[in-house]
Amino acid sequence: MKAIANLSAGSLMVNGAIYNISNKIRTVRDGTRKSSEVIYTIPNNAPYDPQPFPRGLWNITGVEWQEVNGKKMFDYHTYGPVKIRTNAWQWVKVWELDGDGDYLRETEMQVDDRGYLLHYSESSTTLGCIRLASHEDAKQIARVIEKRLAVGEQIQLEVV
């Protein structure tokens, strides 16, 4: 199966159904992120200015539910009821920090950034993940993906 995310149109097509999405991020560059709100790459833990979900063809690699056997696995307000994992990654520029640990300036050094998800969030922004419009959409999409992955099907995510 192939899911298609059109970031500029704000749509995600999964199994013939179309869902609303967004990929709004707050950045130091555009002035919507404070210099003290430093974000670090996954897995290199290098300071960087968040970037939009990378365009390209990726694989959806798993589904992680917020509640398992009554135990909360991650923050619902940030990730909603489910995280849909991908293997998406991109090169990002590392930022130099000042003496207070705040953003100072972008460097020419680059590292890979991973951990791009599809999820719902109560916030209108993410750190680059694709934000699903509602927790119900997130659950519907995750159920479809989970069933396909359970039978060994590869699920591609094309991001345009």
Q: What percent of the chain has pLDDT over 70?
A: 100
Partnered with residue 131 across adjacent β-strands are 22, 119
Q: Quick: pLDDT tens for 47-72.
A: 999 999 999 999 999 999 998 888 88
pLDDT at 69: 82
Q: Which amino acid is at 112?
A: D
* DSSP state letter for 93: E
Q: Quick: pLDDT tens for 77-136.
A: 889 999 999 999 999 999 999 999 999 999 999 999 999 999 999 999 999 999 999 999
- Domain locations along the chain: 23-155
Residue 146 pLDDT exceeds 90? yes
Q: Are 132 and 5 contacting, i.e. CB atoms less than 8 angstroms apart?
A: no
